[in-house]
Amino acid sequence: MGQTNTKRINIYFVTIVITLGGLLFGYDTGVINGTQFYFSKYFELTGWLKGFIVSSALLGALLGAASAGLISKSIGRKKSLIVSAVLFAISAWGSGLPAILPESMTLMVIFRVLGGIAIGMASMNAPMYIAEIAPAKIRGTLVTYYQMAVVIGFFVVFLVTYFIGNGLTEQENIDYGWRYMFWSEMIPALAFFILLFMVPKSPRWLMIKGREEEAKNVLVAIHGQEMADKEYFDIKESIQQEGSVKKASIFQKSLFPIVVIGTVLSVLQQFTGINAVLYYGADIFEQALGFGKEDVLLQQILLATVNLLFTFIAMFTVDKLGRKPLLIIGGFGMLLGFLIMGFTLYLSDYSAVNSAGLPAISSTEGIICLVGILMFIGSFAMSMGPIVWVLLSEIFPNSIRSTAMAIAVAAQWLANYFVSQSFPIVVESDANRLVADGGTWNNSLPYFLFSAFIVFIIFFTWKWIPETKGKTLEEMEATFNQGNS
- pLDDT score for 48: 74
**What's the pLDDT tens digit per position in 46-93?**
767 777 887 788 889 889 988 888 898 899 999 999 999 999 999 999
Give yes or no for residue 244 having a pLDDT over 60: no
| Alpha-carbon 351 to chain mean position | 37
Whole-number Å distance between alpha carbons of 257 and 250: 9
Give yes or no for residue 139 having a pLDDT over 70: yes
- pLDDT score for 9: 79
Among 233-242, 266-275, 330-339, whose mean pLDDT is lowest? 233-242
CA–CA distances in Å: residue 400 to residues 28, 72, 182, 397? 29, 12, 36, 6
- pLDDT score for 103: 57
Q: In this structure, are strands 359-360 and 352-353 parallel, antiparallel, or unpaired?
A: antiparallel
Among positive and negative, which fits the CA dihedral 187, 190, 194, 196?
positive
Give the type of residue at 400: I
| Residue 36 pLDDT grade (very low, low, confident, very high; cuts 50, 70, 90) | confident
Give yes or no for residue 3 having a pLDDT over 50: no
Percent of the chain with pLDDT over 70: 89
| Residue 286 pLDDT grade (very low, low, confident, very high; cuts 50, 70, 90) | low
More confident residue, 402 or 449: 449
Residues with Cβ within 8 Å of 340's Cβ and at least 6 positions away in sequence, in order, are 368, 369, 371, 372, 375
| Residue 154 pLDDT grade (very low, low, confident, very high; cuts 50, 70, 90) | confident
The 3-class SS string of 156-178 reads: HHHHHHHHHHHCCCHHHHHHHHH
More confident residue, 155 or 190: 190
Whole-number Å distance between alpha carbons of 409 and 37: 28
- pLDDT score for 57: 86
More confident residue, 177 or 291: 177
Give yes or no for residue 467 having a pLDDT over 80: yes
Please check whether residue 179 is in contact with residue 48, taking contact to mean a CB–CB distance below 8 angstroms: no
Average of per-residue pLDDT values in the chain: 85
Question: Span 463-485, mean pLDDT?
Answer: 70
Task: Say which CATH superfamily domain 11-199+242-483 falls into.
Answer: MFS general substrate transporter like domains (1.20.1250.20)
| Residue 6 pLDDT grade (very low, low, confident, very high; cuts 50, 70, 90) | low
The b-or-e profile of 391-416 (16+ CB within 10 A means b, else e) is bbbbbbbbbbbbbbbbbbbbbbbbbb
More confident residue, 183 or 359: 183
Give yes or no for residue 247 having a pLDDT over 60: no
Give yes or no for residue 291 having a pLDDT over 70: no
Please check whether residue 106 is in contact with residue 47, taking contact to mean a CB–CB distance below 8 angstroms: no
Give yes or no for residue 413 having a pLDDT over 90: no
More confident residue, 79 or 33: 79
**What's the pLDDT tens digit per position in 342-351?**
999 999 988 8
Residues with Cβ within 8 Å of 165's Cβ and at least 6 positions away in sequence, in order, are 34, 38, 173, 177, 181, 297
Among 35-44, 125-134, 422-431, whose mean pLDDT is lowest? 35-44
Give yes or no for residue 459 having a pLDDT over 90: yes
Q: Where along the chain do its domains lie? A: 11-199+242-483
Please tell me which of 5-19, 135-149, 183-197, 311-325 the model is most confident about, judged by mean pLDDT: 183-197
Question: Span 283-294, mean pLDDT?
Answer: 63
Give yes or no for residue 202 having a pLDDT over 60: yes
- pLDDT score for 245: 43
The 3-class SS string of the chain reads: CCCCCCCCCCHHHHHHHHHHHHHHHHHHHHHHHHHHHHHHHHCCCCHHHHHHHHHHHHHHHHHHHHHHHHHHHHHCHHHHHHHHHHHHHHHHHHHCHHHCCCCCHHHHHHHHHHHHHHHHHHHHHHHHHHHHHCCHHHHHHHHHHHHHHHHHHHHHHHHHHHHHHHCCCHHHHHHHHHHHHHHCCHHHHHHHHHHHHHCCCCHHHHHHCCCHHHHHHHHHHHHCHHHHHHHHHHHHHHHHHCCCCCCCCCCCCCCHHHHHHHHHHHHHHHCCCHHHHHHCHHHHHHHHCCCCHHHHHHHHHHHHHHHHHHHHHHHHHCCCCCHHHHHHHHHHHHHHHHHHHHHHHHHCCCCEECCCCCEECCHHHHHHHHHHHHHHHHHHHCCHHHHHHHHHHHHCCHHHHHHHHHHHHHHHHHHHHHHHHHHHHHHCCCCCCCHHHCCCCCCCHHHHHHHHHHHHHHHHHHHHCCCCCCCCHHHHHHHHHHHCC
- pLDDT score for 98: 74
